[in-house]
Amino acid sequence: MIASHLLQLAALLLGYNLFVFATYFIDKRAARLGHRRVSERTLLMLALFAGSPGAITAQRLLRHKTQKEPFRTLLMGIAALHIVLIGGAVAFFTARRLGLV
């Protein structure tokens, strides 16, 4: 039961991160064509709500906003926050499983 929930969560996160990647792709294409852009605020909010893997992957593969400050620093801060939160959750559930909490 827990495994199926984890698989569902992983699939949801994968789908969301593909959406984030696609949004960065659309913004990159709009920049090249001189069309209306996706706001930096929107791109960062997508990253903040569990989309940092998709955002960073798009940034690297598409070479999009790699030099733009403070965007780049904010995106890395969001990714660092996600790493800390995931690490904390893993530590908490491991301690709980071992009966330490």
For the stretch 44-94, pLDDT in tens is 999 999 999 999 999 999 999 999 999 999 999 999 999 999 999 999 999
Predicted pLDDT at 60: 96
Please give the tally of structural domains in the chain. Answer: 1
pLDDT band at 1 (very low <50, low <70, confident <90, very high): confident
4 backbone φψ class: left, alpha, beta (φ>0; ψ -120 to 50)? alpha
Predicted confidence (pLDDT) at residue 101 exceeds the cutoff of 90: no
- Quote the domain boundaries for residue 13: 2-97
| Euclidean distance between CA atoms 59 and 88, whole angstroms | 26
Q: In the block, which residue shows the tokens 């893997």?
A: 53
Query: Where does residue 21 rank: exposed (0-12), middle (13-18), buried (19+ CB within 10 A)?
Result: buried
Distance CA 2, CA 46 (A): 27
Q: pLDDT for 16-30, tens place per residue?
A: 999 999 999 999 999
* Radius of gyration of the chain, Cα coordinates, nearest whole angstrom: 16
